[in-house]
């Protein structure tokens, strides 16, 4: 276990699209439990669930998870993660969303290793090569363009990079962003003090605030993950994914 790392899982009960989704059942256990188990398995450091609701706090403690109550005034998961991390000495803080039941230990470890090996980067995350062409045009599938070292150049809900008909790179891939972040502590402290940036407000993507303010983001390519739970119908998609995977 890396003693310099803290994993925080922001688990907001009052989701607008799907209230209580973190406690919704998936194959016999709540979504948040899937996330917590993957985080613990990674062995990167202490794992804390951060929530604004007593029901989530109570459940977390019932399975032996460390959990803290955070302010309902937190505007984002990142704000909740920062509040939960105050008072700790961890040099790295990992933000895993509480609605990502198919996050894997291998994904977290690979992204963490890449950030630690990239001293010029302040934030780390991951991506997956897109194989389903429908995802390329889907604005809910966030794409990332990177340089040759795997540093993020831009994130967008549009298809980036654009594939021109006259380009000689016919098979250049698109990459889907995996929505978790690893922050060096000083980067997290700086980030939460910044106002939402213009590109962030246009695309509704928080990571663009980091890029617009000069942060470097390392991106590790990882194996495909299963669906996140954003709406009630996503539970059925998650069940189908589990059956296909033999889980």
Q: Matching CATH topology for 1-103 and 105-178+191-224? A: yes
CB 154 within 8 A of CB 144: yes
Where is 218: in which H helix or E strand? strand 217-221
Over residues 90-110, the mean pLDDT reads 95
CATH number of 1-103: 3.90.550.10
Beta pairing partners, 50: 10, 68
How far apart are alpha carbons 73 and 54 in whole angstroms? 15
Inform me whether the pLDDT recorded for 247 exceeds 60.
no
Considering the domain 105-178+191-224, what is its CATH architecture?
A: Alpha-Beta Complex (3.90)
User: Among residues 102, 7, 15, 104, which one has the least CA distance to residue 55?
Assistant: 15
Residues contacting 25, CB < 8 A, separation 6+: 235
Phi first, then psi: what are they for 150, rounded to 5°?
80, 30
Over residues 56-84, the mean pLDDT reads 91
DSSP string of 90-126, one letter each residue:
-SEEEEE-TT-TT--HHHHHHHHHHHHT-TT-SEEEE
Encode pLDDT of 28-46 as tens digits.
999 999 999 999 999 999 9
Encode pLDDT of 164-207 as tens digits.
999 999 899 999 999 899 999 999 999 999 999 999 999 999 99
**How many Å is the Cα radius of gyration of the chain?**
18
User: Among residues 210, 178, 187, which one has the least CA distance to residue 93?
Assistant: 187
Encode pLDDT of 143-159 as tens digits.
999 999 999 999 999 99
Domain parsing of the chain, residue ranges: 1-103, 105-178+191-224
């Amino acid at each position: 276990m890396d003693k310099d790392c803290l994993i925080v899982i922001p688990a907001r009960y009052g989701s607008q699209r799907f209230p209580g989704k973190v406690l919704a059942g998936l194959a016999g256990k709540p979504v948040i439990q899937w996330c917590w188990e993957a985080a613990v398995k990674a062995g990167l450091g202490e794992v804390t669930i951060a929530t604004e609701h007593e029901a989530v706090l109570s459940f977390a403690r019932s399975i032996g998870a460390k959990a803290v109550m955070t302010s309902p005034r937190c505007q984002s998961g990142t704000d909740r993660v920062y509040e939960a991390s105050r008072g700790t000495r961890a040099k790295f803080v990992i933000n895993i969303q509480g609605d990502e039941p198919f996050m894997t230990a291998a994904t977290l470890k690979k992204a963490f290793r890449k950030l630690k090996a990239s001293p010029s980067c302040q934030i780390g995350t991951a991506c997956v090569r897109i194989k389903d062409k429908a995802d390329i045009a889907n604005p809910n599938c966030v794409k990332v363009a990177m340089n040759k070292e795997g540093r993020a150049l831009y994130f967008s809900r549009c298809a980036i990079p654009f594939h021109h008909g006259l380009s000689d790179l016919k098979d250049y891939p698109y990459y889907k962003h995996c929505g978790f972040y690893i922050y060096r502590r000083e980067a997290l402290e700086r980030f939460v003090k910044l106002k939402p940036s213009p590109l962030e407000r246009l695309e509704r993507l928080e990571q663009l605030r980091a890029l617009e303010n000069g942060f470097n983001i390392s991106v590790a390519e990882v194996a495909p993950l299963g669906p996140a739970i954003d709406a009630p119908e996503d539970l059925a998609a998650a069940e189908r994914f589990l059956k296909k995977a033999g889980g």
